[in-house]
Amino acid sequence: MADLLNTSISGLLAFQRALDVTSHNITNANTPGYSRQLPDFTTRSPQFIGGNWVGSGADVSAINRAYDNFLAGQSRSAASAYNQSNTYATQAARISNLFGDSTTGLSASMQKFVNSLQAVADSPNSIAARQTMLSEAQTLVDRLKSYDSSLRSLDSQVNASISTEADTISSLARGIAELNKQIASGYAQTGQAPNDLLDQRDRLIDELSTHVNVNVTKTDDNQLNVFIGNGQPLVVGDEPARVVATSDPYDPTRKRLAVQSSVGTIDITGSIAGGTLGGLLSFRTEMLDPARNTIGRMSVALADVMNEQHRAGMDLNGDMGGDFFSVGGVDVRAHANNTGTAGATVTRTDTGALTNSDYILTNTAGGWTVRRSDGTAATMTGTGTAGDPFLVDGLSIVISGTANVGDSLQIKPTSGAVSPMQVLINDPAEIAAAAPIVAQPTAGNRGNATISAGEVLNPTNPALRTAATITFTSATTYQISGDPTVYTYTPGADIDANGWRVEINGTPAAGDSFTVRDNSTGTGDNRNALLLAGLMSEPVLNNGTTSLSSAIGQFVGDVGVKTNQAQVTAAAQKVVAEEAEGAMQAVSGVNLDEEAANLLRFQQAYMAISQMIRVADSCFQSVLQATGG
């Protein structure tokens, strides 16, 4: 009878344990990261009584959690990928929205500016039209500046986020290391798995993988080692490393990432992938930096072509035009660890050859070498002296100071151009709408030859506006005043002198003459305004293949495509991440119906065993009555 009682008591205890587990499962049905636990029933060792092995009840030998490491790994990498693309898409959408308003966007502002130039061409004497053009120019500059400052503020937000991410990752690493310690000692003391601690650790690793892609390996004492980047250890046993936001060696305001441990500090910016951090970093290099450089490059090109043409014109006061826009110069930054004093003066020499890249100049034993920000090599000519500057991608570089081997300089050709950009013309009369010269036949010419109105080739030629006469010495030869050479006349051919160019067509008679003279009374002339208005559709960018207006289209299209792609990827990754999460939940999640059934099952078993005790008791009583009366 004692065995019956003992067996029953073992059952009672086992099912009590099972009910505990069920109740724990039900209680944690909504706890994130909780893995359902399962009591592991085993039969007790049988006893050899009376020539037979007699069972002696049941035990809960272990409480296991339902957990699949493979599914967990899948879910983590999916979460990592989803968070990367989602962060990228969220940030990209901000740029996309920035350029989203097609009625006030860059393209519209540019066209309004062109229209205002056309209005000046319509009425070159109208101060109102000129004033409008200056306002539109200012609006265009403001528009460019507002894009630039929005992109700058996005940049500083990215920098701030990188710092926050670094702190979060460090604190997660500390938590994981602490749990590693507790888990190892839990195992060591009991030989049993501390399930809830394991869940907590897994949850921290899950969270870590939403910030950055991680690799996890298990040690013999059930601790988990966590690696990020190219295998830089973040947690080794109970030792956490710190992830810190460091300053870029060229630009202290730009944040990079490094792992700080007892071994030292290792920069991991280039090897970070996945998670919100990976998303931020790839957004910065793939979209933000190029966008800033593009806006800068377009502003440089706008200023360059406008200034060149405006200088070739004549304003309402009869003076030659000046520069119309000013833009900021090229930023040059020395590496923080440079040991020499080398600096560089960089000027833009060819707008068409400029690229969206930044450049790193490095002093090697064999002299200066250059590579673009994306790592590709660029071809550089020259020796870097003032007489023979380095020439690379439309830049002219003059090195100053002395450099030691290993010193390097960063060159940012366009990103600093926009914020100091200005309209230099304030007085509407100073808009150079007219051409400085006018060419015309002399009254009394007998031939029917005509002369083109003339264009300016070199506005700085001192003789440009000095009156010159082209006299036909015969029907086929001519002379230009001040030049004894007799030229042969070819109808329609360019005649260049004093910095101007004209064309004569038709049949001149001997003695006919044409004058090219100063146009200072020609305030109604609009030739230069028409040329200015045409500049936006002139191919001036990308080595003379792309106009400013199509560059704007390309840029906005590029932003749209990248954003759209990121959004599509994020949506797809979301599905993948949810599926992986679902697969894990299918294994580890609590099903309340299942638990209710278990509850019933265990409760019934418990009640049945209670009956057994009563049976044992009544058996015992009947024996007592039979023997003792």
Nearer to other proteins among residue 284 and residue 527 (C-beta): 527
Asked if residue 288 lies in contact with residue 151, where contact means CB atoms within 8 angstroms, the answer is yes
SS3 (DSSP) at 243: strand
Read off the tokens for 396: 């002219």
Minimum Å gap between C-beta 598 and other proteins is 10
Nearby residues of 197 by Cβ (< 8 Å), 6 or more positions away: 179, 182, 183, 186
Which residue is it, tokens 């701030």? 160
Question: Which residue stretch of 271-279, 351-359, 438-446, 472-480 sits at the interface with other proteins (rule: CB under 8 A)?
Answer: 438-446
Strand partners, 333: 410
- Residue 490's alpha-carbon distances to 202, 474, 493, 512, in angstroms, are 87, 13, 6, 15
Minimum Å gap between C-beta 547 and other proteins is 12
Nearer to other proteins among residue 185 and residue 317 (C-beta): 317
Nearer to other proteins among residue 453 and residue 615 (C-beta): 453
Nearby residues of 496 by Cβ (< 8 Å), 6 or more positions away: 457
Sign of CA dihedral 425, 430, 436, 440: positive
Nearer to other proteins among residue 397 and residue 434 (C-beta): 434
Nearer to other proteins among residue 170 and residue 498 (C-beta): 498
- Fill in the DSSP letter of residue 285: I
Number of H helices and E strands in the chain, helices first, is 10, 31
Measured distance CA(226)–CA(218) in Å, rounded: 9
Is residue 423 a contact point for other proteins (CB under 8 A)?
Answer: no
Is residue 124 a contact point for other proteins (CB under 8 A)?
Answer: yes
How many alpha carbons lie under 13 Å from residue 462 in its C-beta half-sphere? 0
Asked if residue 174 lies in contact with residue 240, where contact means CB atoms within 8 angstroms, the answer is yes
Is residue 139 a contact point for other proteins (CB under 8 A)?
Answer: no
Asked if residue 330 lies in contact with residue 345, where contact means CB atoms within 8 angstroms, the answer is no
Give the contact letters, 488-517, x = binds to other proteins (CB under 8 A), - = no.
---------------------x--------
Question: Which residue stretch of 133-141, 234-242, 369-377, 518-526 sits at the interface with other proteins (rule: CB under 8 A)?
Answer: 518-526
Minimum Å gap between C-beta 604 and other proteins is 12
Nearer to other proteins among residue 98 and residue 424 (C-beta): 98
Residues 519-548 that bind other proteins (CB under 8 A): 519, 521-527, 530, 533, 537
Nearer to other proteins among residue 235 and residue 529 (C-beta): 529
Among 8, 12, 22, 36, binds other proteins (CB under 8 A): 36
Is residue 112 a contact point for other proteins (CB under 8 A)?
Answer: yes
- Residue 72's alpha-carbon distances to 5, 80, 439, 582, in angstroms, are 44, 12, 83, 11
Is residue 472 a contact point for other proteins (CB under 8 A)?
Answer: no
Nearer to other proteins among residue 114 and residue 224 (C-beta): 114
Measured distance CA(357)–CA(376) in Å, rounded: 10
Asked if residue 479 lies in contact with residue 466, where contact means CB atoms within 8 angstroms, the answer is no
Read off the tokens for 477: 């030869």
Is residue 481 a contact point for other proteins (CB under 8 A)?
Answer: no
Residues 576-605 that bind other proteins (CB under 8 A): 578, 581-582, 585-594, 596-597, 599-600
Read off the tokens for 384: 């870097």
Asked if residue 354 lies in contact with residue 413, where contact means CB atoms within 8 angstroms, the answer is yes
Minimum Å gap between C-beta 537 and other proteins is 8
Residue 65 sits at φ, ψ, to 5 deg, of -100, 145
Minimum Å gap between C-beta 567 and other proteins is 6
Nearer to other proteins among residue 220 and residue 593 (C-beta): 593
N-terminal to C-terminal alpha carbon distance within the chain: 19
Question: Which residue stretch of 151-159, 399-407, 415-423, 442-450 sits at the interface with other proteins (rule: CB under 8 A)?
Answer: 442-450
Minimum Å gap between C-beta 579 and other proteins is 10
Measured distance CA(498)–CA(447) in Å, rounded: 25
Asked if residue 541 lies in contact with residue 526, where contact means CB atoms within 8 angstroms, the answer is no
Number of residues this chain uses to bind other proteins (CB under 8 A) = 78
Is residue 556 a contact point for other proteins (CB under 8 A)?
Answer: yes
Measured distance CA(111)–CA(124) in Å, rounded: 19
Minimum Å gap between C-beta 583 and other proteins is 9
Among 274, 441, 459, 499, binds other proteins (CB under 8 A): 441
Is residue 469 a contact point for other proteins (CB under 8 A)?
Answer: no
Nearer to other proteins among residue 217 and residue 476 (C-beta): 476
Residues 80-109 that bind other proteins (CB under 8 A): 92-93, 96-97, 99-100, 102-103, 105, 107-108
